């Protein structure tokens, strides 16, 4: 009940704040006369679904939610509800997920929305004590092969062995025990636990299996259990778990693994220290990542991790220092090095250093690489040199959406060459189909130029 009350308050506040701004800010091509959410092919409904699924921030998600609610798309559109639930989950907003689910569940007569909500709880790192799953079964909705992986994942993460056995029995009765999406981690665990003899390779295989399926906490429990069974972790064990800590931002668990590496004497293993550096960087602890880097063996990957990480912070200059250091000690720069250094120059508006790195790019024949070329486009656009950016753009043989988006946004921000800007935007849509990110950036640019275009 507390979760529902919080969710209702959330909707009330953000609906009043953002609903009136949604159309005027983004010029969404949605009209009240078109709000027939019962038709999945309705162009307005399809457009709104696309905007919701491509939302890049919590504010945009709230604006889309408010517009859909006020214009009659919700609570009736199950597909739109599911899309918004997953976007809110990605921004760690379980209250909004719960509210959307409760409002729309009566319109859904399959397991689809239940599965979406169970998945969203997993994404948002919320454990509801299997309340949703129990309620699903109790109300007569039959779980399917999309239900069980996330429920079993919750069992593993929360060490709910009894519940896991209960669910295993349920999926066996329903005939899902042979489904690869359901049975892989559970079947492997069953085989592992009943093996009479297990060596380090066997333990590592099981730990890797769990981490690849997102079951980090279960994998950590196995690492801890190795000591109980007199098995010594090796570098493979540690490098299997650390990347999962990095992806999930699990700093405390990452530090625990770091302590194990020191106790086991692996703190000078290049693969382990690179994994530690990456874990701390991805968890936002660049000071700790730098400490590991400073006392460890280093290769190109070691430098690239920090170059890319510092480029996205206020310490962009450190990214450039590391890039220069690589060259001085004879290490070869690669795509990651160049993209990180160019991004740092863009954030610092360091036009001189950026041009120097551009020269290094040319001498090493990386200018034709799409990621590097797109980074150069962003750099010159942000530094106000749209003329150079345009020359690079024209020479890219395999332009993608990011190439076009960068140029369109660059022209829009500078309010220059409006005729080319509009023609490029319309020409891109005609040749490749609409791209929501392109639409949004173009509309923002046109708004700066005091122009008005409605994208149908």
State pLDDT tens for residues 393-430.
Answer: 999 988 999 999 989 888 877 654 454 445 555 555 55
The reply to whether 179 falls in a domain is no
Q: Do 341 and 356 share a domain, yes or no? A: yes
**CATH, residue 323:** 1.25.40
Q: Do 26 and 117 share a domain, yes or no? A: yes
The reply to whether 136 falls in a domain is no
Domain that includes residue 202, residue range: 195-285
Q: Which two tokens stand for residue 362?
A: 């040319």
Q: Do 317 and 393 share a domain, yes or no? A: yes
The reply to whether 175 falls in a domain is no
Q: Do 382 and 429 share a domain, yes or no? A: no
Q: Do 273 and 328 share a domain, yes or no? A: no
Q: Do 33 and 98 share a domain, yes or no? A: yes
Q: What is the DSSP string of 414-431?
A: HT--HHHHHHHHHHHHHH
Average pLDDT for residues 193-222, to the nearest whole number?
81
Q: Please report the pLDDT score of residue 109 as a whole number.
A: 86
Q: Which two tokens stand for residue 63?
A: 């604006």
Domain end among 398, 419, 438: 398
Is there a contact between 275 and 238 (Cβ–Cβ < 8 Å)? yes
Mean pLDDT lowest among 157-171, 233-247, 423-437: 423-437
pTM above 0.85, yes or no: no
Is there a contact between 29 and 455 (Cβ–Cβ < 8 Å)? yes
Q: Please report the pLDDT score of residue 6 as a whole number.
A: 47
Mean pLDDT lowest among 90-104, 211-225, 310-324, 431-445: 431-445
The reply to whether 131 falls in a domain is no
Local confidence band at 166 (pLDDT 50, 70, 90 cut-offs): confident
Q: Do 248 and 312 share a domain, yes or no? A: no
Q: Do 347 and 420 share a domain, yes or no? A: no
Alpha carbon distance 171, 176 (integer Å): 5
Which are the contacts of 95, defined by CB distance < 8 A and separation ≥ 6? 3, 6, 7, 10
The reply to whether 173 falls in a domain is no
Tokens 């004497």 belong to residue: 265
Tokens 């590391």 belong to residue: 322
Q: Please report the pLDDT score of residue 54 as a whole number.
A: 82
Phi, psi of 269 (to 5 degrees): -80, 125
Local confidence band at 265 (pLDDT 50, 70, 90 cut-offs): confident
Alpha carbon distance 372, 366 (integer Å): 7
Alpha carbon distance 436, 52 (integer Å): 10
Instruction: Using alpha carbons, list the distances in angstroms from residue 420 to 263, 374, 405.
Output: 62, 19, 14
The reply to whether 265 falls in a domain is yes
Mean pLDDT lowest among 14-18, 119-123, 379-383: 14-18
The reply to whether 290 falls in a domain is no
pLDDT of residue 169 exceeding 90, the answer is: no
Is there a contact between 100 and 11 (Cβ–Cβ < 8 Å)? no
The answer to whether the Cα torsion of 291, 296, 298, 304 is positive or negative is: negative
Domain end among 234, 259, 285: 285
Alpha carbon distance 175, 189 (integer Å): 19
The reply to whether 133 falls in a domain is no
Domain end among 285, 307, 332: 285
Closest by alpha carbon to 50, among 93, 84, 88, 15? 84
Q: Please report the pLDDT score of residue 190 as a whole number.
A: 62
pLDDT of residue 98 exceeding 70, the answer is: yes
Alpha carbon distance 429, 239 (integer Å): 44
The structural domain count of the chain equals 4
Q: Do 254 and 325 share a domain, yes or no? A: no
Average pLDDT for residues 371-391, to the nearest whole number?
92
Q: Do 219 and 263 share a domain, yes or no? A: yes
Q: Do 116 and 17 share a domain, yes or no? A: yes
pLDDT of residue 278 exceeding 90, the answer is: yes
Q: Do 11 and 122 share a domain, yes or no? A: yes
């Amino acid at each position: 009940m507390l979760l529902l009350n919080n969710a209702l308050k959330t909707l009330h506040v953000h609906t009043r704040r953002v609903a009136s701004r949604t159309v005027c800010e983004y010029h969404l091509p949605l009209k009240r006369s078109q709000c027939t959410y019962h038709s999945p092919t309705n162009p307005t409904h399809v457009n709104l679904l696309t905007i919701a699924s491509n939302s890049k921030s919590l504010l945009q998600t709230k604006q889309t939610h408010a517009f859909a609610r006020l214009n009659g798309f919700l609570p009736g559109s199950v597909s739109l509800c599911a899309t918004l639930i997953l976007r809110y989950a990605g921004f760690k907003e379980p209250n909004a997920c719960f509210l959307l689910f409760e409002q729309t569940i009566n319109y859904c007569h399959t397991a689809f929305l239940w599965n979406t909500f169970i998945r969203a709880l997993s994404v948002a790192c919320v454990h509801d004590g299997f309340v949703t799953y129990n309620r699903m079964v109790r109300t007569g909705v039959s779980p399917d092969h999309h239900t069980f992986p996330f429920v079993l994942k919750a069992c593993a993460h929360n060490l709910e062995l009894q519940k896991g056995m209960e669910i295993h029995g349920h999926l066996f009765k329903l005939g899902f025990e042979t489904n690869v999406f359901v049975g892989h981690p559970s079947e492997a665990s069953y085989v592992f636990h009943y093996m009479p003899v297990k060596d380090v390779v066997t333990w590592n295989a099981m730990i890797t299996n769990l981490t690849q399926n997102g079951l980090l906490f279960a994998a950590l429990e196995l690492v801890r259990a190795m000591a109980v069974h007199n098995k010594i972790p090796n570098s493979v064990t540690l490098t299997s778990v650390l990347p999962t800590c990095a992806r999930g931002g699990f700093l405390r668990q990452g530090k625990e693994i770091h302590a194990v590496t020191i106790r086991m004497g692996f703190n000078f293993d290049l693969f382990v220290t690179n994994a530690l550096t990456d874990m701390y960087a991805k968890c936002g602890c660049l000071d700790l990542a730098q400490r590991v880097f400073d006392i460890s063996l280093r290769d190109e990957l070691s430098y690239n991790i920090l170059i890319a990480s510092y480029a996205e912070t206020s310490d962009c200059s450190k990214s450039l220092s590391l890039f220069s250091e690589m060259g001085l000690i004879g290490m070869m720069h690669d795509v990651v090095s160049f993209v990180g250094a160019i991004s740092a120059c863009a954030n610092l508006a360091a036009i001189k250093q950026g041009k120097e790195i551009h020269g290094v790019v040319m001498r090493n024949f990386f200018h034709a690489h799409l990621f590097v070329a797109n980074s150069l486009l962003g750099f010159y656009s942000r530094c106000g040199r749209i003329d150079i950016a345009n020359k690079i753009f024209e020479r890219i043989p395999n332009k993608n959406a990011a190439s076009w988006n960068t140029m369109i946004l660059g022209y829009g921000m500078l309010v220059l060459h409006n005729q080319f800007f509009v023609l490029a935007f319309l020409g891109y849509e005609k040749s490749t189909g609409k791209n929501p990110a392109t639409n949004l950036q173009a509309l923002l640019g046109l708004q700066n130029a005091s122009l008005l275009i409605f994208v149908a």
